[in-house]
Amino acid sequence: MNAVESVFVGVFEAHFDLMGQVILPHGKTGGVYATPADMADYFGKKARRACMVALKENRWDGTVESGIPQGMTPPALNESEVTQEE
- Give the tens place of pLDDT for each residue, 14-28: 999 999 999 999 878
pLDDT at 27: 79
Q: What is the DSSP string of 8-27?
A: HHHHHHHTHHHHHHHS---T
How far is 20 from 79, CA to CA, in rounded Å?
Answer: 33
CA–CA–CA angle 43, 52, 56 (5° rounding): 150
pLDDT, position 86 = 47
Contact 57, 49 (CB under 8 A): no
| Of residues 84 and 16, more confidently modeled | 16
Residue 1 has pLDDT above 50, yes or no: yes
Among the listed residues 50, 41, 56, the one whose alpha carbon sits nearest the alpha carbon of residue 69: 50
What pTM does this model have?
A: 0.78
